[in-house]
Amino acid sequence: MTDLVTTDVVVIGGGVAGLWLNYRLHRAGYSTILLEKDSLGGGQTIRSQGIIHGGTKYALNGALTTAANAIADMPARWRACLEGQGDVDLSSARILSEHHFMWSKAQLASKLTTFFASKAVRGRIESLKENERPEAFRDRRFKGTLYALNELVLDVPSVVSALAEPFHDGIYQLDCSQPGVIDFDGERIRGININGKRRSVRIEAQCYVLTAGEGNEALLHGSGLPGPAMQRRPLHMVMVKHDYPHPIFAHCIGTGSKPLLTITSHPAEDGKFVWYLGGNLAETGVELAGKEQVQKAQELVAELLPWVDLGQAQWASFFINRAEPRQSNLLRPDNAFLARTANTLVCWPTKLALSPALSDEVLEDLQKQGITPKAHTDYSLLAGLPHPKVSLPVWEQMFS
């Protein structure tokens, strides 16, 4: 026996991109079902640093790039949501820092100093006097320049929870990459098959949206769906669990076009803080073994923050891929991305901060295709499926 469940849109992938889209679809009147293979946010989302970029780090060559302009409006959109006044309600999410900062260990070149003071970046960046600095940068041994960026840093698990909780009944755990789950007839998806011991369920929708990040590739290959090629840009991230009392949320910049180091600080369950280290350290460390990458990170932190004593800190590293639509020369995409094939959309936000922009594009596409709210989904027919939990932060998994 097979029960038929109808809905307007099936979203496959429960990271911030999929959850944000699911929320927006509900607010627009659509009936939805979201399917996640493992835990909510368990891929790239939970391993992000939680920075809602405004594009300043893409302008370290002294000019506003396409990437910098594409993401410029995102901090304001996220702030509105955190105040409960935006596209989604994130008022229950936790803000770790109202600003991300940027520091140089010495005086900046005059060209970059002039650019940071120009009208082009007004409202994005502000030079701070000594008495305005966060505590970690008030040490007399700090000789560089510190800027405050118009960028937030968020506790990512709390964002995932805020997006998921209102629609808990329509979010299920199911591996759609397994053969036979996605019923693709060579032209379009006909449905999602869930085969149980006593009864089976089939989900049919007007549109199917893939937002599974790196998992999109397995979904496309497993079902035979045509779709855009994916690229992976690897990172080798480092974590430090320590007793240093002052959190740091900042990029350290040098003479290059990328931050030498990006630090965010995250509270652990035992009351200590974890520094999460990315930036050029993570990009250039992909060929190193874990022990070598940790040693490199230790040396870099000692060089850039010589006044900080991390004491008996715990260090660890791990690899993560940024999954994106393939670009020539593996360049970083500037914008959120979607591609349509028949009744299926394949999406990548390309950056955490661009999740709102991706939802805009999906909703615009649905309108162009004439896909309007129609279904009244009977979630009781899916009662046998488990609901996925919110993923633990990676440091809780590795330092437990």
Domain ranges in the chain are 2-45+159-229+328-398, 96-153+232-321
- Phi and psi at 265, nearest 5°, equal -115, 135
Q: Distances in Å between the alpha carbon of 110 and those of 57, 106, 121, 250? A: 17, 12, 16, 21
Q: Which residue has the tokens 């089976």?
A: 200
| CATH number for the domain running over 2-45+159-229+328-398 | 3.50.50.60
Q: What is the pLDDT of residue 107?
A: 65
DSSP classification of residue 389: P
Q: Which contiguous run of DSSP H or E holds residue 152?
A: strand 152-154
φ, ψ at 346 (rounded to 5°): -110, 125
Q: Which CATH number fits domain 96-153+232-321: 3.30.9.10, 3.40.50.880, 3.40.50.10540, 1.10.760.10?
A: 3.30.9.10
Residue type, 234: P
Q: pLDDT digits over 307-352, tens only? A: 999 988 999 999 999 999 998 876 778 889 999 999 999 999 989 9
pLDDT at 334: 81
Q: 312: which DSSP letter?
A: S
Q: Is the C-alpha dihedral spanning 333, 334, 336, 338 positive or negative?
A: negative
Q: How confident is the model at residue 258 (pLDDT cuts 50, 70, 90)?
A: confident
What are the beta bridge partners of residue 193? Answer: 202
- Please report where in the chains the tokens 């590739």 appear, as a residue: 217
Q: What does the alpha-carbon distance between residue 238 and residue 27 come to, in Å, rounded to a whole number? A: 38
**pLDDT digit string, tens, across residues 189-235:** 999 999 877 789 999 999 999 999 999 999 999 889 988 999 999 99
pLDDT above 70 coverage of the chain, percent: 92
Average pLDDT, the chain: 91
pLDDT single digits (tens) 38-97: 999 999 999 999 999 887 777 676 666 666 677 888 999 999 999 999 999 999 999 999
Residue of 46 and 145 predicted with greater confidence: 46
Dihedral class, residue 311 (left if φ above 0, else alpha if ψ from -120 to 50, else beta)? left
